[in-house]
Structure 1
Amino acid sequence: MKKRSRGKNLSSAEKASQAIDEALRENRKSRGTREEVLILGAPGSGKTTLMRQLRIIYDPYTEREREDFKPYIRSSVLHALRQLDLLLPAETPSILKILDSSPTETLVLTEAITTLIHDWWSRPDIQNTSSHLSLDPSTMHFLDRILPIAAEDYLPSDTDILFCHIDPSPALVQLDIPFSEETRYRPFLHCTCVRQSLRSIHQWLPIFGEISHAIFVFNLNHHDDVEDTRKTFDLWECIYSSRFTRFAHIYLIVNRPSTFASKLTRHPLNSTYPDAEPDISPAAAEAFLLRRFAERDYSGRSSWGIPRWTVDLMDTEGVRVIMRNLMDELVQTRLVTVCGL
């Protein structure tokens, strides 16, 4: 028996119903397939790490892209040596002097230079002194991995890419990521990370005036730098109270809880904030800092109920969980906006 051709022998009412269904499908596609997300935060907050994590989770780097990172990762070794050289006591042998290299020169990881760096970093006195310094985790990571990084067949790992230092950083990074497979509502997130500054906010923020969602990243470990935290809260205030983001849903990601507790022992919170209680616990210290965000809300746009999550952005699984939670928030937001629920 021959099958009837689709659309033949349908009544006018059935044809009209099909046309309406098709129009509704097209309308849903045009309205609900893209959510704009702007990634914001002060320099060093973790914005770049978050964007790289999203690539690792949703669109893994290809072998060619990993090859492209190799020069930056090897230059990150020199960056690590410079940072360490600034922090080590004057009586400690300087690795840059041992290499007969100034901080402005390019370091070529020959076999001889790699051996010198490895042997110097392995010295018990250097290890003991470094353990008492406030080193950035990337410094220790690259010096610990100096031998594999210098190898001819080296291909950067995900962790190498996450720690990689690129100077200057790209002015704009964009990434499309799919929505959670667990939900029937499946648009994609168009994430944009712009290299922002407080001085140029009047130039770059209007460009994203139609943004629907913004993630603000805050690094807990910057609590001991008064100037840095001031810039963070000033940037937050400008973004949160701006007329260009008045319709945006804003989320807060609190970065670096893993090292916050140990840093508090070296730099107590009340040494920076006199109104903080002495010997405050890490949880109470985090709550104290988060209240600073609420205190900068002069907009009157809403009560302080911004969704926020605390996560170490170097933890891929932690970021994966945060993104699932964020997607759940976006679904709820869309239901309220579209359906009035």
Structure 2
Amino acid sequence: MTPNRTPRWFGSPANFDAATARSNEIDEQLKKERVTIRGTRFIALFGAPGAGRSTFLRQAKLHGSGYNTQEREELGISIQTTVISAIRLILEGASIPDDPTVQLALSSFLEATEPGSDTTNSSVQDQSLLAYRIQELLAVRLIKEVIEASPQYQADSSLQYTMGPIPRIMTSRYTPTDIDILRGKFPPAPPIVEIPFKPPGAWNESPLQTTLVSVRRDNGLQRKWLTLVGEVEAIIFLVDLSRYDQTEYLSETEEELNCIRAAMREFESICNVPLMRFASAIVVFNKFDLFTEQLTRVPFTECFPEYTGPNEPAAAVEYCTDRFQALYCVFGVRQRNIRTWCTNCLDVDQTGVTLQEIMRSIVRLRLHVVWEV
């Protein structure tokens, strides 16, 4: 007969209670993390170079968590640095008229903006002097004409914008506005950018977390990211409508292709990724204002001869929508209808409305899927 044995606890009761409490706390934390991971939904952002992905991400942050004071200060310094570097680069490679007034303003600017010079320090007095030197430089008509005639200036819309409000931007107390953040030029973003994507209105307190993710298009990084997160709930594909009359070089096939047709080809390849088979597709036609203006100069039929509709923005967009819809299938299996919006990502109010409508459609689809299950 086995004698009754009293269980032996190693350590004092107090230590055991503390360890049990700690263990329970860890279990609860792991449970919460599992719920968080399972409740996180991913929306993948795609688009060809120049389609406005970085601007769209900034809009999503502006209308989501927003930029705090520290972030705005850092962005302001980045904008100022970019403006100075661009002006220096243009003037160092330009032919400046041999005029004493012009040469004096140029030498003062180059000396003030020399890396490591006293005026590049962070003190208010030094920054004020630097701002004065730049304003003094741009007040010289010949120098301003040289800058505006340079190919870099003509091709850089962000530099064209920042050159206008130079007196406001180049100050020691400068804090960028929303439009400054949208139109400013910043260093390249990290390979993967994640932005919390909040539902509007009454759904804003939903326990499900939605993250908008943009993955850089190089070295198969997008596909590697997809294998880590599993299935994506929705994809947002940006199309630059204003480039309908331009071509781009495709290194994969070594051919020149119309930009809109190239976007269609990329959209089709994304839809045929197995991990995308349950994703809802959203196509955002960006730069609609420029597209409308461009149609008055270049008819849509010149780039799409098969198009038989009127040379009007709405009809042309409807044609593009039908083309993208025809490509929205996975291995030949037709999916749900795509959702399309026209917007201008530089317009804060208009893009805000677009973002709300996109999120509403995603939430409605989410509720519909849950109801079906």
What's the TM-score, normalizing by structure 1?
0.72
**Structure 1 residue 81, shift from structure 2 partner:** 5.9
Letter in 2 for 1:306: I
Say whether residues 1:321 and 2:353 are aligned partners.
yes
Deviation track 1:64-85 (CA, whole Å, cap 9, x = no partner) reads 1111112321244368769999
Match of residue 284, structure 2, among 250, 253, 264: 253
Matched, 1:178 2:209: no
Helix, strand or coil at the partner of 2:63: helix
Inter-partner Cα distance in structure 1 for 2:354 and 2:131: 41
Matches within 5 A, 1:38-187: 38-77=44-83, 110-117=131-138, 119-120=140-141, 137-183=157-203, 186=206, 187=208
Q: Percent identity?
A: 25
Name the counterpart of 1:269: 300
Task: Name the count of aligned residue pairs.
Answer: 303
C-alpha displacement of 1:151: 1.3
Distance 2:204 2:78 in 1: 40
**Aligned-partner Cα distance in 2 for 1:42–1:287:** 20
Which residue is 1:243 aligned to?
274
Tell me the equivalent position of 1:233. 264
Gaps spanning 5+ residues in structure 2: where? 1-31, 98-102, 121-129, 249-258
1:187-336 pair list within 5 angstroms: 187-197=208-218, 201-227=222-248, 228-276=259-307, 280-297=311-328, 299=330, 300-302=332-334, 305-336=337-368
Deviates most, 64-73 or 199-208: 199-208
Relative distance call for 1:201 and 1:38 in structure 2 (3 A) is: closer
Deviations along 1:305-338, whole A, 9 cap, x unmatched? 2011111112222222222222321232122221
Q: 1:315 to 1:65 in 2, by over 3 A?
A: same
Is the 8 Å Cα contact of residues 36 and 213 (structure 1) preserved in structure 2? yes
> Which residue is equivalent to 1:11?
none
User: Any conservation in 2 of the 1:81–1:139 contact (CA below 8 Å)?
Assistant: no
| Amino acid in the other structure paired with 2:300 | L
Cα separation, 2, equivalents of 1:267 and 1:75: 38
RMSD of the alignment, in Å? 4.1
| Alpha-carbon shift at residue 199 of structure 1 (Å) | 5.9
1:337 is matched by which residue type in structure 2?
V
SS at 2:46's partner residue? strand
Contact persistence 2:216–2:222 (CA under 8 A): no
Higher normalized contact order (CA 8 Å, seq sep 6+, divided by chain length): 1
Q: Give the residue type in structure 2 aligned to 1:181.
A: G
Q: Which has the larger radius of gyration?
A: 2
Which secondary structure state, in structure 2, belongs to the residue aligned with residue 210 of structure 1? Answer: coil
| Deviation per residue, 1:18-59 (Å, 9 max, x gap) | xxxxxxxx9xx7698432211111112122112111221221
Alpha-carbon distance between aligned partners in 1 of 2:63 and 2:142, rounded to the nearest angstrom = 33
User: Which stretch has the larger CA shift, 213-222 or 192-201?
Assistant: 192-201
Residues 185 and 169 (structure 1), Cα distance of their counterparts in 2 relative to 1, 3 Å cut:
closer
Q: Secondary structure of 1:215's partner?
A: strand
1:186-209 per-position Cα deviation (integer Å, ceiling 9, x unaligned): 233212122224865544443343
Q: Which residue of 2 aligns with 1:340?
A: 372
2: CA distance, partners of 1:196 / 1:297: 21
SS at match of 1:48: helix
Shift of 1:92: 12
SS in 2 for 1:324: helix
Q: CA deviation at 1:246?
A: 0.8
Unaligned runs of 5+ in 1: 1-25
CA contact under 8 A between 2:131 and 2:167: conserved in structure 1?
no
Is the deviation greater in 268-277 or in 152-161? 268-277
